[in-house]
Amino acid sequence: MTTTHLPDVRSTQATRPVVVSVRRPRLQRLLVHLVVVCITAIWLVPLLGLLVSSFRPAPAVLSTGWWHSFALPGDYTLDNYRQVLDHDGMMLSLFNSLAIVVPATLLTVAVSSAAAYALACMRFRFRSGLLLTIVALLIVPVQITMVPLLRVFNHLGLTGSFLGLWIVHLGYGVSFAVYLLHNFFAAVPRELFEAAEMDGATKSQIFFSIVLPICRPALASLAIFEFVWTWNDLLTALIFLGGFRDVAPMTVAVSGLVASRGNGWEVLTSAAMLSMIVPMVVFIAMQKHFIRGMLAGASKG
């Protein structure tokens, strides 16, 4: 009797609604809200301030805080955007950014997917040594390469060219890219390739017709990473584009405005907004891929 009775008691105790829904004390819940709301405000208010200021007329931006514009509804203008797009050349910079970032991203994805395929799915000498080298190179500060690279670039006339910057971004991005894709590719079941190999398919046929289509989500994760990362890069562009305005991407152009326009907040805020639009759109549209890439890149790092 007792032995059959015991489990019964335990199971009634464990039914969740009875025990677990004990409400947390009021004070504790209030504290949770306070902390969360404060942190959220710290993260959202600066964005709101930027957005609002970029639409305010210059005299208003310089004389009153951005929150005052809520008291004077209708006092907004597109002049700041017109000014930075036409006069400050942000339109050209937008296309410079695209002309740097899109080919650099494609190049990195192409080169690293081939390498990751070999490292994840083929057996060969030095394979694990190569993998370890990739992991070691993941966190090398790129600053260590810049002095000699710049000397060689000056010598070859690559300074100030997009080609030079594509190559640099490829070299800087490839170790992370190979590492990320290797983590994905290694999870693909071997049988898929082995069957094709039995049928006499070559490695490149397997790569293009099986591996890449299956791993499209992984490639998307990597592409978004590279895109946002290259778009937001300042240091590399600053050093290897030689300071020429006509090739400057958005980041260099905005930091140039900061130096030349100091307190011209109406110009700086709208220029910063413009520089954020493309990566923001890419990021929000593809956030699932972004998060997946982030987790795969960090979990074993």
Partner 1 sequence: MIADRIQLLVLASVAIAVATVGYLRLGDRALNRLPQAWARRLVPWLFVGPALVAVGLVLVFPAISTVVLSLLNSNGTAFVGLDNYTSTLSNPVTQIALRNTALWVVLLPSLSVLVGLTIAVLVDRVAYGALVKAALFLPIAISAVAAGVIWTFMYDYQPPTANQTGTLNAIITTVPGTDPIAWIINEATNNYALIGATLWTQAGFAMIIFAAALRAIPEELQEAARLDGASEWKVFRHVTLPFLVPTVVVVMTTMTVIALKAFDIVYVMTNGRYGTDVLSTVMYRDLFTAKDNGVAGAVATILMVLVVPIMVFNLHQFRRESQKA
Is 67 or 78 the residue whose CB approaches partner 1 more closely? 67
268 is an interface residue for partner 1 by CB under 8 A? yes
User: With contact defined as beta carbons under 8 Å apart, do 55 and 238 qualify?
Assistant: no
Q: Does residue 11 interact with partner 1 by CB under 8 A?
A: no
Q: Which stretch binds partner 1 (CB under 8 A): 60-68, 79-87, 188-196, 215-223?
A: 60-68
Q: Is 288 in the site for partner 1 (CB under 8 A)?
A: no
CA atoms within 13 A on the CB side of 52: 20
Q: Which of 61, 219, 222, 241 binds partner 1 (CB under 8 A)?
A: 61
Contacting partner 1 within 135-194 (CB under 8 A)? 135-152, 162, 166-168, 170-172, 174-175, 178
**Using rule CB under 8 A, residue 103 touches partner 1:** yes
d(CA 186, CA 131): 12
The CB-of-173 to partner 1 minimum distance in angstroms stands at 9
Nearer to partner 1, 1 or 30 (CB): 30
Closest to partner 1 by CB, 215 or 254: 254
Site membership for partner 1, residue 217 (CB under 8 A)? no
The answer to whether 271 touches 84, Cβ cutoff 8 Å, is yes
Among 76, 77, 83, 130, binds partner 1 (CB under 8 A): 130
From residue 231 to residue 260, what is the string marking binding to partner 1 with x (rule CB under 8 A)? xxxxx--xx------x---xx--xx--xx-
Q: What is the DSSP letter of 186?
A: T
Q: Closer to partner 1 at the Cβ: 26 or 125? A: 125
Angle at 186 between CA 132 and CA 298, to 5 degrees: 60
Using CB under 8 A, pick the residue from 23, 26, 33, 155 that binds partner 1. 33
Query: How far apart, in whole angstroms, are the C-alpha atoms of residue 93 and residue 49?
Result: 24
Q: Does 215 bind partner 1 (CB under 8 A)?
A: no
State which of residues 82, 127, 245, 288 lies at the interface with partner 1 (CB under 8 A).
127
Contacts for 59-65: CB closer than 8 Å, 24+ residues apart: 61/265, 61/266, 61/269, 62/263, 62/265, 62/266
Residue 70 touches partner 1, criterion: CB under 8 A: no
Select 78 or 245, whichever has its Cβ closest to partner 1: 245
In angstroms, rounded to a whole number, what is the distance separating the alpha carbons of residues 275 and 137?
30
Helical segments of the chain, H only: 2-14, 16-20, 26-54, 58-63, 79-82, 90-121, 127-137, 143-156, 162-185, 191-198, 203-206, 212-214, 216-232, 235-240, 250-261, 265-285, 287-299
